[in-house]
Amino acid sequence: MFVCGVPQDAAAFGRLLDVEQALFGKLSIPTAMAREFFNVSPEIFSAITGPDAAVAAYSSAFPLQPRWARALIAGDIIESELTPDMLLDRRDSHENGNVYIGSVVVGSGYDGLTRSSLLASLLTWRIKQLREYSIRRVSVMMTGVSKQGEQLIRYTGARKLNDGANRKDGYSIYGRSVSQGFLQRATVALERCFNGGLIKMNSAVLGGTPAPDFVVEQLA
């Protein structure tokens, strides 16, 4: 049984960070700053742990204030330069907001069906968040740093917002509007992959040793 949810404490979050830093290094938010994000808004992060308590998959999503979303698209700032004061406050309206998808990572040491279910679970968790906050429409931004990431971007129907040549990290940034209609269609599609008998949607407690091999599905 896998469990999908928000890391429950600093130690659990540290397991996720170990994988993030090993995969992305300087491209990712520095460890100390990432912990500040977690202290401020732990729901930014979601993780799936396996029966052996290893990190099987994880994702991150940052609701940005409008000026910082524009700066990110323009390439004036990149992921490693994000700080918690750039986030929308919980008291702010998130309707028509801008969400930066930081990472969607799935372990490669699983068969294709399991990996599909892990990815579907991460996306289902994010849809659940939007519905719980009664958000009807947001704009999401993402970049692809791998072949798998580019494929996922194409699958979502995102359009290019700025070419990598104009951005500090060298990666093109893509975006699309996410409406209730899109969420309904996505839910139907994800139900074909999501295996409720395999993955429990709950607050995940991370522990154990992170799985050694990961496929980067998306880094935004």
- DSSP assignment of 83-121 equals -GGGBPPTTS--TTEEEEEEEEEEESSS-HHHHHHHHHH
Give the list of residues 6+ apart from residue 210 with CB closer than 8 angstroms, or none: 15, 18, 19, 22, 54, 55
Percent of the chain clearing pLDDT 70 (strictly above): 89
Q: Enter the tokens of residue 50.
A: 């396996």
Q: Enter the tokens of residue 134.
A: 């009664």
Mean pLDDT rounded to a whole number for the chain? 83
CB 32 within 8 A of CB 57: no
pTM score, whole prediction? 0.85
Residue 162 and residue 148: Cα distance in Å, rounded? 20
Decide: helix, strand or coil at residue 48.
Answer: strand
pLDDT per residue over 141-184, tens digit each?
998 877 777 777 887 889 999 999 999 999 999 999 988 787 77
Report all structural domains of the chain as residue ranges with CATH numbers, in order of start: 2-219 (3.40.630.30)
